[in-house]
Structure formats: C-alpha cells, structure tokens
Amino acid sequence: MKKLLFALALIISANNFSNAQEKYGPTPTKEQLAWHDKEFYLFMHFGPNTFTDLEWGHGSENPNVFNPSALDCNQWARIAKAAGAKGIVITAKHHDGFCLWPSKYSKHTVRESSWKDGKGDVIKMLSEACKKEGIEMGVYISPWDRNHPQYGTPAYNDIYINTMKELLTGYGKFFELWWDGANGEGPNGKKQVYDFTRFKDSALRYQPQIVIFSDIGPHIRWVGNENGIINSTNWNLLDTAGFKRGEGAPPNDTLNIGNYNGKHWIGAEADVSIRKGWFYHKEEDNTVKSGKTLFDIYLKSVGHGGNLILNVPPNRKGLIDPLDSAALMSFKNIREQAFKTNVFKNAKWLTTKNSIEIHMNQARDFNAIVLKEKISLGQRVVKFEISGGNDLEHFEPITSGTTIGHKRIIQFPRQHIKYIRVKFTQYKAKPIISDISGYLISN
C-alpha cells in the first residue's frame, strides 16, 4: 500500500516531467522550433535540366528548352498536402542560373523562354497554390551561377542579394531558404568569393522569420549525405567557427551527428530524392523509391530527431509523375498506419528523477516507442535504456539508445507487456520528456 501511494504521488502530467524548467545549453529560436515541428516536406528540382536530362546545367542552354506542356502547381501542392508534407521548397534558381521567375537581374529566365510566351512565373503560381492548400513554401537559390556574366566578380554578390530580395519580397512569406554547398566556375571560368555574411543579413532583413539551410546553418544544417539518413546519435548542436560552406565544411560524420558540446543550435535536415537524380529523367522512372523505403528513411531522419526534405521533381509536363505520387501516397499510408494506435494512450506515467515508467492496465503488443524531449529547454539526454515486464519486480532489458531531441523513434522486437521503464542513464541536465507513446509497426 505504501508503495502504491508513493507511486501515485509521482504521477504527473505528460509535459511536466521535471519541475526544473530552465534552459540548458544552446536552445532553438521560435522559428527553429516551428521548423522542427514541420518534420517532413517536399523538395522540387525543376528547370532546364528537366528538359535536357542534365543534373548540372551548363548555363548556356537555350531558355526555350524550358517548356512544360501542362504545368500545374496546384497539382504539386495538392499532392504534397495529401502526402502529409508541410511545404514545398523549390529550386527558384539552380546552378545553371535559370530563374523560374522573371528576374530583373538575369537574362536567363522564364521570360526568355517560349513557355506561356515568356509571361509565366512558376514562383508566383506555386506560392498561390501553396497558400490555397494551406502548406508552406521555401526557395533554393543557388549561389553558384554558371550563366551570370558577372559571376566571379564582387558585383555578383550584390546581384545575388538583389535576386534574393526579389524573391523574398515579392511572393509572401517563405519558411526556408536553401543554400547548397556547390561552388564551381562561372561562364568566364572564374570562381566567386561569396559574401555569406551579407547574404544572411539581407535574407533576414527581408524575411526575419526565414530559416536558412546550408552545410553549417546558420539555422539548420546538412547531414553529410544525400540519402536522407541521420545518425542515431544526433545533437542539434554544431560548432561553426573556422568552417565554411562547401569545401570548408566540417567532416560529413560531424554533420551527421552534430557536436556534443556545440555552441549553436543548428538542427539536421536530411535531403534525399525519391528518384536517382535530383531532376526528373524519364530513364530513371524505374528508380522511384517505394513507400516502404521512404518509411525506412523517415525512421532514420525524423525518427532520429531531424527533418526530412524529400525531393519529388516534376516531369516535362510540369506535373508530379504518377509513379512518384503513388509512392508518396503509399509512404503516407504506411506512416499513418504505423502511428495510428498509441498503446500507451490511457496508461499512467510514473516519473522519477531519471526515469519514466508506463503502466498500462493490461499487457499490449508493441515494437516501437516514440520519445520527445522538450527541446525549447535544450537537448539533454545522452543515453537511455528501455526495459519492461508484466511484473513490477521483474523487468527485462528491451533496448537502449542515445540522443532523443525533437523526436526519437525506437524500434525493437515485438513485446507483449504491461509495464515499461525508460531509464536515462546519462544526461547533461535533468531530462524533460514532453511525450512518450508506443506502437505496433508492421514491417
């Protein structure tokens, strides 16, 4: 009886694991927090490469090659929404310099193409479509420009800023700005010395809420591979001093794991394409990943505390290909099915300084636990162990893990038990767990 009363006294509400609700170490800004909550969104590579079957256009392509026969951004946004994606990030300008909007600062744009007699604007159409569907939008603006005559001269830094300004002030709010790390030669064989400090200050002046991606942030980082996989140990922290974007970036495994004691909160965004290439190529139709493969990637990106940006490149018609949309819907169904029934839903939480126990009123089948840390107060858990049983006196080990962060999906062999304990065996500060749930995921 005494034991029971003690246990009851420890039952506290879900998001109140610790009373010491003080920040520990670097913490995310409110924009970064909102970004973490998006978890999954689409990437779209679209432009002359779609029509020339290149991955890196030369910048000397005839703009007339860009001529989608049935472009429909509403179809993109509809499919994104139906797939559960929170937004679309589009290559407004890739390395070939071609602008999907009629930029004043370039002569290599949709205006120079015969598509819609040079009167089209993909960015406008997409921003309207996203608004209509209630999803968000972001832009990839490649600093590397293989077309612009000024590339490789200081003047190009101003041109890049003006180009950003047009996009960031003309089409409503964007949630994300994407800077890839590639930096090659321009049309005159020169390389550019980018003024990223000015680029960043300008972007944030035009859209203070925007979250900027690059190898090293400032807000979110690359994960060191293009397979969509984040290490199971994932710190949202990174040291950036002395590092550059592109060739001067930290080693890929550092980007994949983060820095244990990193000075800045820079979350991980896993990028991957649904197909072999980033742009649509008909001969890669047989490389479209299955819903099951995409779910596996999801478990290793979102399930490892980061976000997943999944590239779904429109085809030459200017539509998401039926093969890709079918895979997206299968992915969505697998996700929904997997996380439909939280077996811990009506269970009691019992917490101590360094553990959480879940007491269900009967044994249930499950093979996955989802843990969330209250990251607004910092990332704290270093290691945990999960055990359980049907008798409070006899718990057997089930599995163990390392970091948690925004979300950690832990899988293990199927259990049929009533009691579960997550013990935090190493932490930087008192763990604050905002949620715990259990699922039976079919494989």
Nearer to ligand FUL, 136 or 180 (CB): 180
Shortest CB 177 distance to ligand FUL, Å? 14
| Backbone phi and psi for residue 350, each to the nearest 5 degrees, phi listed first | -120, 130
Shortest CB 180 distance to ligand FUL, Å? 3
- Cα dist from 335 to 328, 361, 441, whole Å: 11, 27, 9
Shortest CB 164 distance to ligand FUL, Å? 17
Nearer to ligand FUL, 39 or 215 (CB): 215
Nearer to ligand FUL, 38 or 45 (CB): 45
Nearer to ligand FUL, 271 or 357 (CB): 271
Q: Residues 43, 86: contact at Cβ < 8 Å?
A: no
Nearer to ligand FUL, 289 or 418 (CB): 289
Integer Cα distance of 277 and 279 in angstroms: 5
Report which residue's Cβ sits closest to ligand FUL: 180
Shortest CB 425 distance to ligand FUL, Å? 38
Nearer to ligand FUL, 55 or 112 (CB): 55
Shortest CB 361 distance to ligand FUL, Å? 49
DSSP letter for 143, please. Answer: S
Integer Cα distance of 231 and 223 in angstroms: 9
Q: Which helix (H) or strand (E) holds 367?
A: strand 355-373
SS3 of 13-72: CCCCCCCCCCCCCCCCCHHHHHHHHHCEEEEECCCHHHHHCCCCCCCCCCHHHCCCCCCC
The residue type at 238 = L
Shortest CB 377 distance to ligand FUL, Å? 33
Q: Binding residues for ligand FUL, per CB under 6 A?
A: 45, 55, 180-182, 271, 278
Nearer to ligand FUL, 194 or 278 (CB): 278
DSSP letter for 171, please. Answer: S
Shortest CB 278 distance to ligand FUL, Å? 4
Q: Are strands 237-238 and 176-178 parallel, antiparallel or unpaired?
A: unpaired
32-35 long-range contacts (CB < 8 A, ≥24 apart) are 32/211, 32/219, 32/220, 32/265, 32/267, 33/375, 33/376, 34/175, 35/175, 35/176, 35/211, 35/219, 35/220, 35/267, 35/307
